[in-house]
Amino acid sequence: MISSPFAVLFSSDRSSSGKSTFTLAFSRLIKERNIHISLFKIGPDFIDPIVLGAACKCNVTNLDSFLIPKNRLNNLFINNDDNNNNDNGGNKIIKTSFIIEGAMGLYDGKSYIIAERFKPPVVLIMDARRISSTMASLIYGLKNYKKGIIISGVILNNISSERHYQIIASEIKKNIKDIKVFGYISTDDKNISIKERHLGLATPGYFSSDKEFEEKVDKIKIAVMKNINIDLLIKTLIKDSKAFFSILKTNEKNNFYCGNENKKTISKISNRSNKIKIAVAYDNAFLFYYQFNFEIFKKFNAEIIFFSPIKDKSIPEGIKAIYIGGGYPELYAEELAENINLKKEIYKFYKNNGLIFAECGGLMYLSKKLIYKSQKYDFLNILPFVSTMDGTKLTLGYRTVYLSKNSFLGKENLKINGHEFHYSKLLLNLNNDKENNNKYDNKYKNEYNSEYNKDKYNSKYNNNDDDNKYGKKYKNNNLNNINYSNEIKINKNINDNQSVIDYNISSNNKISNAINDGNNNFSIESLSNFNVEYVFAVKNISSDNLTAPKINEGYKTLNAIGTYVHISFFSNQRIAKNFIESAKKLSL
């Protein structure tokens, strides 16, 4: 039985070394020993946290000094330590163990920042494939390259034999002080990996059942931990975690909240009974969310209600806003396209000026159509784009988003940080996309330009099947009463004078005259023809692109905004507050 809490950061010299696999196996084992754990993933990644969280039945929090202000990172640890109490002297006793999965190599990205700032003991997961004694020099370099971090030991992955392990372990023990070798993972076991797809590991929904996923995780745990000295590992982590817990206690009183607001103010907000209901699309198609975004929404008096665009036939009742994150809409395109009742309800909600904020896969869902493997799927038709996965390339990187116009997210010039990671792209007009132009004949182009006229759209969405309870719901309140023209109709019950919300579409304030260059940078003239405008100016943040220009992004029509950037509301909580306050003002 583990008597004291510990912390650990699993890192390496590179990506694909086995960090995710070992973190999953170790966390599962510790959780099964009834030890309270909090799990973290460094960086903006969504997929590893989803898999790890499902395996351990708990949330995984992203740690990223770009997405989260550095002075508030500490509070993510404090707020995840919900298994603590005080001793007789009123001093806090921390009972939670903290397990952190690094990203890329130890000195790449944000891993070193977390290791240096919070001093969790680092355990290196090193890929020993096609290397032996030289491995010791890599570990020596990682330990001595920069000061200020604690490297406790190493686990060797892809060991081909016991002799292979002994050669490397002997070199490490002989030449590097204060580094323990905790064991190895064999190359022979085929149970130690989860299938991958184009954005990373296959999420739990990829498996045929929860049972299949659980069985796979158990096989991984057994195979990975078979040759690990777990008692030595935990004993070492407890000893080397003193600095980490000292830092947590020292910084415990740091303010988690935004601006000049304090815990007392937020408590008053959170205790109100009239919470603002926010519907969040959450299923196998839409599952990429930062957990701290939900907590920030709740702090500003939001009630999160999850729904499934794949399975549900109606949106939750009484909602004021819809939040649609990223995911894999292309893998569930047929189910999404065929869920006519739900599409109808979301479209009606949009036309009545309900707030919709959609990121990445959610942006694709707002579009007219999706093209995937040459097949076409009808989506929400809120934004006049076609999204395509065909003939595309990966786009990724950190982004700083500047609000270029007033909207329900706030006033012009507010900024917020986020991350972009996708293969899809948007087409405003197939004629403007030379790369894909020859793939579609004139018949399809004509269909593209004419399919969503008022009559065809209304007839398609007014299927009043008496045997369907959702059809009955709309029998006397169908979409024939909704204007599908380009004219903007404002719900008369909405307070139109609030400074946070800008309902009016205007093409006079032009952001750019650029034409569509294949990177979603359409001209404002072409967008305004569809009553759509840019509301973001996005800057690509990278070490070799410090002077990058701002690019037009963020597409708004009525009170729907779609963007490819996954927003961290932690980086500017004022924008999250504006979102909730704007929703509160709506009368739907």
- Please check whether residues 233 and 293 belong to one and the same domain: no
CATH of the domain at 536: 3.40.50.880
H or E stretch including 47? helix 47-56
Q: Does a structural domain hold residue 255? A: no
Q: What angle do CA 386, 390, 395 make, to 5 degrees?
A: 85
3-state secondary structure of 355: strand
With a cut of 60, say whether residue 512 has pLDDT above it.
no
Most confidently predicted of 87-96, 100-109, 185-194: 100-109
How far is the CA of 523 from the CAs of 80, 101, 418, 516, in angstroms?
Answer: 45, 42, 24, 6
Q: Is 397 left (phi over 0), alpha (psi -120 to 50) or beta?
A: left
Encoding tokens for residue 204? Answer: 């739990």
Considering the entire predicted model, what is its pTM? 0.77
Whether the per-residue pLDDT at 322 is higher than 70: the answer is yes
Indicate the angle between helix axes 291-299 and 263-270, nearest 10 degrees. Answer: 80
Please provide the average confidence, as pLDDT, over all residues in the chain. 78
- Are 330 and 370 in contact, with CB atoms under 8 Å apart? yes
Number of residues assigned to the chain? 588
Note the pLDDT of residue 91.
52
287 and 222 within one domain = no
Residue 282 shares a structural domain with residue 196: no
CATH of the domain at 200: 3.40.50.300
Query: Terminal CA-to-CA distance of the chain, rounded, Å?
Result: 55
Interval 195-222 mean pLDDT? 68
Query: Does residue 224 or residue 201 have the better pLDDT?
Result: 224
- Measured distance CA(78)–CA(229) in Å, rounded: 30
Using CA atoms, how far apart are residues 96 and 40, in angstroms rounded to an integer? Answer: 13
Taking the CA atoms of 458, 380, 579 and 550 in sequence, report the sign of the dihedral they define.
negative
pLDDT at 475 over 60: no
237 and 298 both lie in a single domain? no
List pLDDT tens digits, range 157-174. Answer: 999 999 999 999 999 999
User: Quick check: 466 pLDDT over 50?
Assistant: no
Average the pLDDT over each of 108-112, 326-330, 402-406, 425-429 and give the range with the smallest value: 425-429
Q: Is the pLDDT of residue 89 over 90?
A: no
Q: Which of these ranges, 57-61, 88-92, 313-317, 494-498, has the smallest mean pLDDT?
A: 494-498
Q: What whole-number distance in Å separates Cα of residue 578 and Cα of residue 277?
A: 15
Point out the domain boundary residue: 197, 219, 250.
250
Measured in degrees and rounded to the nearest 5, phi and psi for residue 211 equal -65, -40
Number of domains in the chain: 2
Q: What pLDDT shows up at residue 35?
A: 85
**Which tens digit of pLDDT belongs to each residue from 134-160?**
999 999 999 999 999 999 999 999 999
pLDDT of 363 strictly over 60 = yes
Is 260 a member of any domain?
no
Reported as a single tens digit per residue, the pLDDT across 39-55 is 999 999 888 888 888 88
283, two tokens:
């299923």
Token pair listed for 264: 């007392």
Q: Print the domain residue range for 315.
A: 265-585
Tell me what the mean pLDDT of segment 66-92 comes to.
Answer: 65
Please report the pLDDT score of residue 257 as a whole number. 34
The H or E element spanning position 552 is strand 550-557
Q: Is residue 256 part of a domain?
A: no
Q: Which positions are annotated as active-site residues?
A: 360
Query: Can you tell me which residue has the tokens 């065809």?
Result: 456
Query: What is the average per-residue pLDDT within 32-36?
Result: 86
